[in-house]
Each structure stands twice: as structure tokens, then as C-alpha cells.
Amino acid sequence: MYQISFRLYMCYTKTMQNPDEKYMRMCFELAKQASGKVAPNPMVGCVVLDKNGKIISKGYHEKYGQNHAERNALLKLKNNEAEGGTIYVNLEPCSHYGKTPPCVDLVIEHKPKRVVIGMKDVNPEVNGISKLKAAGIEVDFVLEEEAQFLNRRFIKTMTQKLPYVVLKTAATMDGKIAAKTGSSKWITSEKSRELVYTMRKEFDCIMTSSNTVIADNPSMSQTRWRCVLDKNLRTDKSAKIYRNNTYIASEQNTPLKDGELDLEAVLKELYARGIYSVFVECGGTLAGALLKAGLIDEIYQFIAPKILNDNEGLSCFNGENITEISQAKSLKIYEVKYLDPDILIKSVFSSS
Ligand SMILES: NC(=O)c1ccc[n+]([C@@H]2O[C@H](COP(=O)([O-])OP(=O)(O)OC[C@H]3O[C@@H](n4cnc5c(N)ncnc54)[C@H](OP(=O)(O)O)[C@@H]3O)[C@@H](O)[C@H]2O)c1
């Protein structure tokens, strides 16, 4: 899998940019305009330069099922302005018939001298680079790690056929998500909680547990789907979460692993239902189990400037007896936000 160069990602705006990097970053910015609108497709932007190095067109993949970035950019041109020029695109142009015809044919028709690509497509059906080279077009890569980071959700869903999983926790500075009584309202500020409502909209589904539904009775209504892990169907069907489309994973429809619901099987079932991203909001038991199974891709951790100071307070992660610090799971932080008074840390597992 790909490695993320944290320093490169965080500091790129401060570095000297060569023209290829500059136009590729333009592609990234165009691509990001489609965030949340194209899954399970990737976010792609395209910038077209004429033979004198002047930008003559831009485009991006705007909506799932609609034109890809290259098509949107090239169809804006009236004549052969791109001939001898350079086309920048953050993903290898497609070469197969999907919901739209192959972009690589349209690129070749426009006779650019060079195509600069961010990353090779992980879809095994795509062979755009060979087609470009066979047509005598130079192909270069630039900012490959950043291009992969941008489309990390697409890479995971395409290669593993599982949804991309982000776990959210909200904890005190000593890592407690609730007091031993279960009291957890509210650890973080209203501002942080409002941000969580907005974040939820970036996902297809919120996953939670029987315990959390019983303790907090959340409605979690901001996503298309909800998933409750409830092995013995202990939750009350009049709970708020069931007012909207909710998949209940129980021992009636899910295989067990070590006596618990097989979490990977649940994620596979969600993927089969067209769910490509999952936002997990739960307590430490389920979070620990997901972590142990290696099923979390990212963590959004809210930290409130509070200290509970009670060993029996509930922790973000309840795992096994770990004896060596070297056994700790490592992440890379890619964003830190001060929300006054809380902070939000977004981090990704380096193996994602
Ligand atoms: N601060 C925060 O960010 C936050 C967020 C959510 C919740 N909370 C708090 O967390 C507390 C609940 O924490 P918790 O640790 O008791 O519960 P939890 O982690 O939310 O859920 C654990 C339960 O999930 C179910 N589950 C299903 N499959 C599982 C699997 N494979 N592995 C592990 N669990 C599985 C089990 O119940 P079944 O046997 O019934 O299936 C298990 O008891 C509540 O007090 C709530 O307020 C805090």
C-alpha cells in the first residue's frame, strides 16, 4: 500500500513548487470540490495547458455517474488548442467503458505532448498509461503520495471491497469518554458537537453499538444509513436511531468470531449494500475490538481540556493486556484543529 509523507503533506504550501507540482495541486483543489459527491468513484481534477504553457481549460469529476475530469476539461475546448500541450490529471485516465466512455481516447484525440498524472488507477480494468505511451504521448508522475492520500477512501474500497472506516472519539485529557456511571454528557463543547453533526454528512453510514444506543439514545440522523451492532437484539426498537434506515447486525444475520459479531463480516455486508464510508461512534469496547481487528482507517479524536482522574472512568479503547509500549498502534497525525476550548486531531493508520 501507499505510504504518506506527513511532512510533505502538511508543509507542501511552504515549499518551492515546480510547475508540474503547481498544476497537480490545482487538480487536487478542483477534485476536492466533489468531496462527498462521487463515491465510490475517486475525486479527480484536470488542468489543460496549451503548447505555450498557458492554462486553456479545467474540469473535475463533479458527480457519480457523470463525466470524468478529463472529459469535462477537454469538452470545453473548441478546436485543437491542446495539441502539443500538457494535460494534468491526478488519476490515470480511464481506458474502459463504465458509465462514460474511456477518457484516454479523448485525451489522445487532443494530441497533447505530455500527460502528467498524480497516481496510477488501482482499478485493474484501467490501462490508460499504456495507451497514452502507445500513442506517443509522454507520461510523467508527480506528487504521487499526495494524490494517493487525497483518494485514500477510493483506494481502500476498490482494493479491499470494504468501506473506509473513521472512528470518532470524544475524551477528556486523560482519555476518558464517560464516567464509571456511564455519564458522558457532555465532555466536549457545543461547538465540537456541532462539528460532529457536519462530519457525519461526509459518510454513508454511522456505526454504533447496543451499549451506546442504550446509554445515550442518539438519533444519528445525518447519514443515509445507520448500523447498530446488537448481538442479542437488546436495544429497544423505539430508540431514536431506528426512526431512520438502520441495519441491525445481530447473531441472526452475522457470523460470530470468538463469540462476538464478526466485525469484518459486518463491514462486508455494508459494502454489499452500497455503503462505502462508515463513521463509528461508540464506547471503548467496540472501538478496542475494531482496533484489534485492524478495521479502522482513521481516527478523529476530540480532546476536551478536562481531567476525570478516575481509573474506573471509561476509556476510548478497551483492549487487551499490553505489556510493552512498542506494542502500541502507531498513527500519523495529518490535521490538528483548535476548536476553543477543545482540540480535534485527525490521524491515519500508516498501513492504510
Ligand atoms: N465520548 C464518546 O466519544 C462516546 C461515544 C459513544 C459512546 N460513548 C459512551 O460509551 C459508553 C459505552 O461504552 P461500552 O464500552 O460499554 O460500549 P461500546 O463500545 O459502545 O459497545 C460495546 C458493545 O458492542 C457490542 N458489540 C457487537 N459486536 C462487537 C464486537 N465484535 N466487539 C465488541 N463489541 C461488540 C457488544 O454488545 P452486544 O453483545 O449487545 O452486541 C458490546 O458490549 C456509553 O457510556 C456511552 O455514553 C462515548
Å from CA of 20 to ligand 1 middle: 48
Q: List residues near ligand 1 (CB under 6 A).
A: 169-170, 177-178, 182, 184, 187, 209-212, 215-216, 229-232, 234, 260-261, 263, 281-287, 289, 314
CB atoms within 10 A of CB 277: 21
Instruction: Determine the Cα–Cα distance for residues 8 and 15; give it in Å rounded to an integer.
Output: 9
- pLDDT (tens digit per residue) in 272-287: 999 999 999 999 999 9
The widest CA-to-CA distance across the chain, in whole angstroms, is 71
- Active-site residue, selected from the candidate residues 21, 29, 70, 320: 70
At residue 11 the predicted structure's pLDDT band, cuts being 50, 70 and 90, is: low
Does the pTM of the predicted model rise above 0.85? yes
Helix (H) or strand (E) holding 71: helix 69-74
* pLDDT for the residue numbered 351: 55
Closest atom of ligand 1 to CA, residue 287 = 19
* pLDDT for the residue numbered 13: 52
- pLDDT (tens digit per residue) in 85-120: 999 999 999 988 777 789 999 999 999 999 999 999
57, 27, 20: which is closest to 141 by C-alpha? 20
* pLDDT for the residue numbered 1: 41
* Percent of the chain scoring above 90 in pLDDT: 87
At residue 221 the predicted structure's pLDDT band, cuts being 50, 70 and 90, is: very high
Instruction: Determine the Cα–Cα distance for residues 87 and 236; give it in Å rounded to an integer.
Output: 56
Secondary structure (H, E, C), 92-159: CCCCCCCCCCCHHHHHHHCCCCEEEEEECCCCCCCCHHHHHHHCCCEEEECCHHHHHHHCHHHHHHHH
Is residue 70 annotated as a catalytic residue, yes or no?
Answer: yes
Å from CA of 28 to ligand 1 middle: 37
Which conformational region is residue 218 in: left (phi greater than 0), alpha (psi within -120 to 50 degrees), or beta? Answer: beta
* pLDDT for the residue numbered 347: 98
Mean residue pLDDT across the chain: 93
* pLDDT for the residue numbered 16: 63
Q: What residue has cell string 484516454?
A: 104
